Amino acid sequence: MIVEPPASRDENVLAIPDVWLEDLVPRRGGIAPVPETVPDREAHAAVRDSLESARPLVREVLEHRGTAPGLAEAGLAYLKGEATPLGAAVVARVETMARLRSRFADDPGWADHLAVEHGLAFAACAFAEIEGVWVGDDGGAVGTDEQPVYAVAGTGGLDHAHWAAGSAGLRMRALLAAAGDDDHAAAVRALAGHRQGPVRRLIAAFLMPERTDWVDECCAEPPERLSYYTSSGATMLWWSLSTAGQVERLGDWAVLQAGEREPEVISTLVDGLGEAAAPVLARSLDGDAEPIDRRFIVDALARIPGDDAFRIMGGRLDAVNVLPAMEAMIERFPVRALRILPELGTGTARRSSMAAGLLNAHLEAHPGLLAAAELSPQAREAIDALQAARAPEAPHDLVPAALLKGTKKRGAAWAPPAALPQILLRGREHALPAEATGRLVEALSKASPRREPPQGLRAALDALDPGSLAEFGWSLFARWRASGQATRIGWALAQLGWTGDDDTARRLGGMARSWPGQAGIQLPLKSLDVLAGIGTDVAVMQLHLVADKARPKRLKKRAGELLLQVAADRGLTMEQLGDRIVPDFGLDADGGMTLDYGPRTFTVGFDEQLKPVVSDDRGQVRKALPKPGAKDDPEAAPAAYRAFTGLKKDVRTVAADQIRRLERAMAEQRRWTTGDFRRLFAGHPLLWHLVRRLVWLHDGDGAAPVAFRIAEDRTFAGVDDEAWTLPESGEVRIAHPVHLGESVPAWSEVFADYEILQPFAQLGRQVHAFTPEEAAGNRLERVAGTVVGVGKVLGLERRGWARGVPQDGGVQHCMTRGIAGRTVVLDVSPGFPVMSPADWPEQTLGPVWIAGSEASDPHLAEAAFGELDAVEASELLLTLHTLAAQAEPA
């Protein structure tokens, strides 16, 4: 077999693959040749004989009282030999129903029968009329199960369109497409008289798609898609399109919907439209297509010549199933790939990296193509730049020993080393050779989420640059997902535990947090095991965020289980673990970041809500970080802007959580050693911005608590603003206004003088206390009778409360919270269903009870509210008053 050189192929020809021909709906003048088709006389004879035997039943149906008079007249006339297209359509549908015992059946033999009996033009006109006929039961007791009687009624829509868009209509179209010129012209003239109304016009256009003016009319008034069953009208229009103007006229309608993404629709669409099919397929790919439909759509796109189709595919490289089709497209259009891949390979998006890898693999596969291809100077310059950015391969003596030898086993087809990012050795001067990269991929294929790599592989991984190794690992994972191989969770995910870094952890955490529901949930579930395997503080923080913010309960539960394991492994409580996993996000010791634009610099700090505050080099606060300008450094400025964008996004993911944790620590009176306080809070680059805005208490051995704050220079000061030295011993806690007592106004004045805004209400916090009667009892009536929204009640979960145990009908009637070894219960009525609490939107608050323990009955006087200390009492009452203040308007 002679293989044509890639550079000499005509890349503007759409080649219809043989596998499509079986599904392709023939089109006169289309790209695919029309198969020779003539009326089948055996099929004609079979229908003729069946009609003869069914005449009594057909006549009975036509004479039924429910049959539309006009249709009955036409059908009976046809039985008498007075043939009209309408009469033929009526009889065809009734006879087929009687023979096949289905109202939804059609018979392609009727196309052959009518063509033989009356001519092709007559048969085409009968099919134009056939969807105006519907055969159904009359709803009465006429007839028997063996021989039911049906009525024929006219229909003005496509609700029951089973003939024109079914096998019978397809047979009719095939006969017309293959007809001789004279017969075809006669059919056109005859059909022109049967185009009254949108349904007939659509059928005529479907039967004669070469009449583009007929199709244009249908595009101006496309069929509605009221249900799956009405998609037949849309299917007929798809089978009729042949010009880009028709696609433009259809506008937003031109997206393949459910029931329309079938192989015969897509292949016929491409045959008719050629390059103009690309935008239709692109919009359909971006919709809600199922995986099996997506595969056929991307395969069709990959066969369309033209730059638009290539760019459409390149812009979706990171979408499932696109990558393998794109690789086939590159082989199909090798020179076009050389022209367009360089422009797709620039930028920071994941698909840009994939495009650059595809270009490198393409150049390696066809080493002579670059010299032979006719490319613009811009394209050659872009290719040269991409090749120049690649590091030289490391000499043999620098390659880690574990990667020098290995089996010659063929690696995963979706992971060719040439298409993946280079892995740099430490020092970043050399890259791992392709053969060694292949051996690394083979070694990674044995990865397990919670298992350490073998000693030899561990040494090899340690010899590689961590950043480029992590990028390689993520690219491997991304190619696995994009290739459509992610049907079974395997090593491509697990290897991230061996190659990943903090950026990998953030990506995995973001994927899990944004997972929408239960579909495909094994992937984010297993990714949590990988996060636990990475084990850095950033990875553990991502587990915490998933446990707190993910939507699917299975993800939240699994993340919580892994956090407990991590905490136990480190010998910590969950709260202590939370203190230790707050990332510093690369901030400097002062809690800021300097952004270098070349001729100008900017400094980033944070306000009381951890929102970034940008100052220029003159100290003036800017509303936002300006985008790089023409006078800025072309490399440093964009990199600094990207760094700021990433920082802002990263901090936003943890800010609210950290503020909430500190407020909860104050309410629960958590304590830290002075050493932990200095290391975890006062010395933390990010949390420093919060903790310096709070008043703290130091508890020494037997000494009275001392209130202090952290000054801007990280020294400590009392309420008199005099410097104070924090002892090395003792414990530190966040001061509650109950503790500060009469000094609250003085502290408030200090904070006002320094214009210090607090991250949450501390000095301005309301303080509440029980009355003597309330303190002596176990029942509290303060908020009873208040009506609030169910969402406000469930919002208590964010403050440490939990829903009560479901009762009859799965309804929960209370909220509970553990306080100081006791359980507080808030009754609500009528309660809320476990699965759909929003169904009962209004809740009336009942009494609040306190029990001696979680197992106790709160209605028994085993505990009293007076057993809570002053802070616990104040916080409980604050929560209740805040909830009651959100009462529904009367």
Question: In the prediction, which pLDDT does 2 show?
Answer: 36
Amino acid type, 248:
E
What average pLDDT does this structure show over 22-37? 91
Tens digit of pLDDT for each residue in 48-67?
A: 999 999 999 999 999 998 89
Q: What is the pLDDT of residue 7?
A: 54
| Mean pLDDT on 429-452 | 92
Asked if residue 1 has pLDDT above 60, the reply is: no
Report H helices in 375-465. 377-388, 434-444, 455-462
pLDDT of residue 181 exceeding 70, the answer is yes
In angstroms, the CA 59 to CA 660 distance is 80
Question: What single-letter amino acid sits at 637?
Answer: A
Per residue in 200-228, pLDDT (tens digit) is 999 999 999 999 999 999 999 999 887 65
Query: Is 873 in contact with 768 (CB distance < 8 Å)?
Result: yes
Alpha carbon separation from 116 to 48, 111, 165, 235, 419 (Å, rounded): 11, 9, 21, 28, 59
The pLDDT score that the predictor gives to residue 175 is 97
pLDDT at position 487 is 58
Residue 621 three-state SS? strand
Which residue has better confidence, 29 or 856?
29
The two beta strands, 601-606 and 706-710, are unpaired
Return the pLDDT at 650.
86
Average pLDDT over residues 523-551: 90
Mean pLDDT over all residues of the chain?
A: 90
Supply the pLDDT for residue 137: 67
Furthest CA-CA distance within the chain? 116
CA-to-CA distance for 541 and 532, rounded, in angstroms?
Answer: 10
pLDDT of residue 649: 87
What is the tens place of the pLDDT at every residue in 274-298? 999 999 999 999 887 887 888 999 9
- Closest to 321 in 3D by CA, of 301, 344, 341, 340: 301
612-642 per-position pLDDT tens digit: 999 999 999 999 999 999 999 988 999 999 8
**CA 614/CA 603 separation, integer angstroms:** 6
| Mean pLDDT, residues 244-258 | 94
* Cα distance between residue 52 and residue 732, in whole Å: 100
pLDDT at 840: 92
Burial class of 889 by CB neighbour count within 10 A (0 to 12, 13 to 18, 19+): exposed
230 pLDDT tier (thresholds 50, 70, 90): low
Residues 6+ apart with CB under 8 A from 859: 849
Pick from 1-15, 238-252, 414-428, 556-570: least confident: 1-15
Asked if the model's pLDDT at residue 3 lies above 80, the reply is no
**Peptide linkage before 433 cis (omega within 30 of 0):** no
Give 889's pLDDT tier (boundaries 50, 70, 90): confident
Instruction: Report, as an integer, the average pLDDT of 252-273.
Output: 93
What is the C-alpha to C-alpha distance for residues 354 and 421, in angstroms, rounded to an integer? Answer: 8
Distance CA 50, CA 47 (A): 5
Confidence (pLDDT) at 410: 63
Q: Which amino acid is at 611?
A: K
Q: Quote helix, strand, coil % in the chain, to nearest 5.
A: 50, 10, 40
Query: What does the pLDDT average to over 415-442?
Result: 93
Side-chain-side CA neighbours of residue 383 (13 Å): 23
**How far apart are the C-alpha atoms of 846 and 814, rounded to whole Å?**
9
Whether 5 shows a pLDDT value over 70: the answer reads no
Q: Is 343 exposed, middle or buried (0-12, 13-18, 19+ CB in 10 A)?
A: middle
Report the C-alpha gap between 194 and 85 in whole angstroms.
9
d(CA 79, CA 59): 8
Identify the band that residue 149 occupies on the pLDDT scale cut at 50, 70 and 90.
Answer: low
Q: How many residues comprise the chain?
A: 890
Taking the CA atoms of the chain, what radius of gyration do you get in angstroms? 37
Nearest to 323 by CA among 293, 292, 299, 288: 299
Pairing of strands 706-710, 716-717: antiparallel
DSSP string, 274-342: GGGGHHHHHHHHTTT--HHHHHHHHHHHTT--SHHHHHHHHTTTTSTTHHHHHHHHHHHSHHHHHHHHH
Give dist(CA 633, CA 640) in Å, integer. Answer: 10
pLDDT at 756: 96
Closest among 168, 172, 174 to 268, alpha carbons compared: 174
Environment class of 844 (CB within 10 Å of its CB; exposed 0-12, middle 13-18, buried 19+): middle
Residue 144: predicted pLDDT: 39
Residue 145: pLDDT band (50, 70, 90) is: very low
> CA 570, CA 578: separation in Å to the nearest integer?
12
Which alpha helices (H) appear in 417-464, and where do they start and end? 434-444, 455-462
Tokens of 516: 């929408």
| Ordered alpha helix ranges (H), 487-552 | 491-494, 496-499, 502-513, 522-534, 537-549
* CA 723/CA 44 separation, integer angstroms: 107
Task: Please state the rounded mean pLDDT for residues 511-527.
Answer: 85
Yes or no: say if 579 and 567 are a contact pair by the CB < 8 Å rule: no
Residues 6 or more apart whose Cβ sits within 8 Å of residue 373: 7, 334, 335, 338
pLDDT class for 362, splitting at 50, 70, 90? very high
Q: 705 near 739, Cβ under 8 Å?
A: yes
Q: Identify the three-state secondary structure at position 603.
A: strand
pLDDT at 371 over 80: yes
**Position 781 pLDDT exceeds 50:** yes
* Rounded-to-integer distance, Cα 822 and Cα 850, Å: 7
Calpha distance 305→327 (Å, rounded): 14
Contact between 165 and 237 (Cβ < 8 Å): no
* Kind and range of the H or E run holding 622: strand 621-622
Stronger pLDDT, 859 or 711, i.e. the higher one: 711
Question: Which long-range contacts link 292-299 to residues 24+ away (Cβ below 8 Å)?
Answer: 293/261, 294/320, 294/321, 295/321, 295/325, 295/484, 296/261, 296/263, 296/266, 297/256, 297/261, 297/266, 298/322, 298/325, 298/326, 299/325, 299/328
- Give me the residues paired with residue 696 across strands: 708, 734
* Lowest mean pLDDT, pick from 160-164, 319-323, 695-699, 783-787: 160-164
Beta bridge partners of 622: 614
